[in-house]
């Protein structure tokens, strides 16, 4: 478990006209990872960015790229995103027919493999493949758009996954994404989260506020 909570600002909430500059600003402000939300307009009702944009941003920062693929079918795009610079690639169980094969492929490509749980997805989906999971991401909103309200029932899911991870004996990161703010971050951490994705809670107020915003999410 990390010494302090990992904060992964979501560039979905940044100024898209200057993505490289925004990435550098959050890294300088203390961000641990850069979270990249990839949406296809099919699996979720929005379209965001592709691997070429990830590739363009990558040289601007040294922190890991935490790439969340909200696309289906997902397998055909794994190599493109890892080649573009994804250090962690997270997929939804619903985005392909064979989750185990998908996770193995991500690792073969040289990235860490994550599994994403929609609010209705049951944690048991990874029960028999824990050895192939590096990160678990719990969505505390329905994926597709930023700025949604936190779904508090997902805290119980975080608690259950925390127990599953601890019982497995594996060093699996447990991340929460959706409605994460200074008010909800402590609840996520108390439930067992080790990483938090935040969009508007980091990017509001402009670059001069990013460091304060990140500290607030850590409880400081």
Residues acting as catalytic residues:
37, 177
For residue 169, say whether it is annotated as part of any ligand binding site.
no
For residue 147, say whether it is annotated as part of any ligand binding site.
yes
For residue 206, say whether it is annotated as part of any ligand binding site.
no
For residue 205, say whether it is annotated as part of any ligand binding site.
no
Distances (CA, A) of 117 to 30, 107, 124, 134, 139: 27, 19, 10, 14, 6
Q: Taking the CB of residue 21, how many other CB atoms lie within 10 A of it?
A: 12
For residue 10, say whether it is annotated as part of any ligand binding site.
yes
Q: Taking the CB of residue 110, how many other CB atoms lie within 10 A of it?
A: 10
Q: Report d(CA 173, CA 40) in Å as an integer.
A: 26
For residue 68, say whether it is annotated as part of any ligand binding site.
yes
For residue 37, say whether it is annotated as part of any ligand binding site.
yes
| CA proximity to 136, closest of 110, 155, 115 | 115
For residue 179, say whether it is annotated as part of any ligand binding site.
yes
Surface-to-core class of residue 107, CB atoms within 10 Å of its CB (0-12 exposed, 13-18 middle, 19+ buried): middle
The binding site comprises 10, 35, 37, 68, 144-147, 177-179, 199-200
The binding site for a divalent metal cation comprises 35, 37, 68, 177
The binding site for substrate comprises 10, 68, 144-147, 177-179, 199-200
């Amino acid at each position: 478990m990390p010494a302090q909570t990992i904060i992964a600002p979501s560039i979905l909430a940044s100024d898209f006209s200057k993505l490289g500059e925004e990435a550098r600003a959050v890294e300088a402000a203390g961000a641990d990872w850069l979270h990249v939300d990839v949406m296809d307009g099919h699996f979720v009702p929005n379209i965001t960015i592709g691997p070429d944009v990830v590739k363009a941003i990558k040289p601007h920062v040294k922190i890991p790229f935490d790439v969340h693929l909200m696309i289906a079918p997902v397998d055909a795009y794994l190599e493109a995103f890892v080649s573009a610079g994804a250090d962690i690639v997270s997929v939804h169980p619903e985005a392909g027919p064979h989750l185990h094969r998908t996770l193995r492929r991500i690792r073969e490509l040289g990235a860490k493999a994550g599994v994403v749980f929609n609010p209705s997805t049951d944690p048991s989906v990874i029960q028999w493949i824990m050895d192939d999971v590096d990160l678990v991401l719990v969505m505390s909103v329905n994926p597709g758009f930023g700025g949604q309200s936190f779904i508090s029932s997902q805290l119980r899911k975080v608690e259950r996954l925390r127990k599953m991870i601890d019982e497995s004996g594996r060093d699996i990161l447990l991340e929460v994404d959706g409605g994460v703010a200074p008010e909800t971050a402590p609840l996520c951490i108390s439930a067992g989260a080790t990483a938090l994705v935040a969009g508007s809670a980091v990017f509001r107020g402009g670059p001069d506020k990013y460091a304060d915003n990140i500290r607030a999410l850590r409880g400081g």
